Amino acid sequence: MLQLEVIGNLGNDAEIKEFGGKKYVSMNVAHSEKRKDGGETTVWVSVLWYGEGGGLFQYLKKGTKVFLRGRISVKAYLDKQNQPQCSVNMYATEVTLCGAKTENNANAQEQPTNVAPTAAQTRGEDDLPF
């Protein structure tokens, strides 16, 4: 199995979609990197996350920075001009908010919310390391 980890910004508000009687959160994430020549490369990842997003769905808005982990699917195709293209798709198993844009503040506001419970939480222990 191939795994993918992405940190990027949501390109649109997340939506709940239904496929085959199962609900998924659908979102697009842009990951950008600066190149040595001064340019920038952006890769868009189309994401499906099984379920309805739990308590995170309300925060999955355009511009929100997220960390995603899941199974990758890459598909090659020809565009309308008959040029080869590639789509990157992910079936997310973990979604973590890294920050969100607010109306009053253009800078990211930290929102450390993770959908995967920590090992201490699953054992019923507190978050102290001792």
* pLDDT confidence tier of residue 104, bands split at 50, 70 and 90: very low
Q: What are phi and psi of 120, to 5 degrees?
A: -65, -40
- % of the chain exceeding 70 in pLDDT: 75
- pLDDT digits 0-9 by tens, 111-123: 444 444 444 334 4
Residue with the bigger pLDDT between 103 and 77: it is 77
Q: What are phi and psi of 56, to 5 degrees?
A: -90, -20
* pLDDT confidence tier of residue 1, bands split at 50, 70 and 90: confident
| pTM of the model as a whole | 0.70
Tokens describing residue 95: 């979604």
Residue 99 pLDDT > 80: no
pLDDT at residue 105 in the model: 42
How many Cβ atoms are within 10 Å of 53's Cβ, its own excluded? 19
Cβ(45)–Cβ(29) under 8 Å? yes
Q: Give all domains of the chain, ordered by start, each with its CATH number.
A: 3-123 (2.40.50.140)
pLDDT at residue 100 in the model: 57
Q: How far apart are the C-alpha atoms of 8 and 59, rounded to whole Å?
A: 15
Q: How far apart are the C-alpha atoms of 114 and 34, rounded to whole Å?
A: 27
- pLDDT digits 0-9 by tens, 49-80: 999 988 899 999 999 999 999 999 999 999 99
Q: What are phi and psi of 59, to 5 degrees?
A: -95, -5
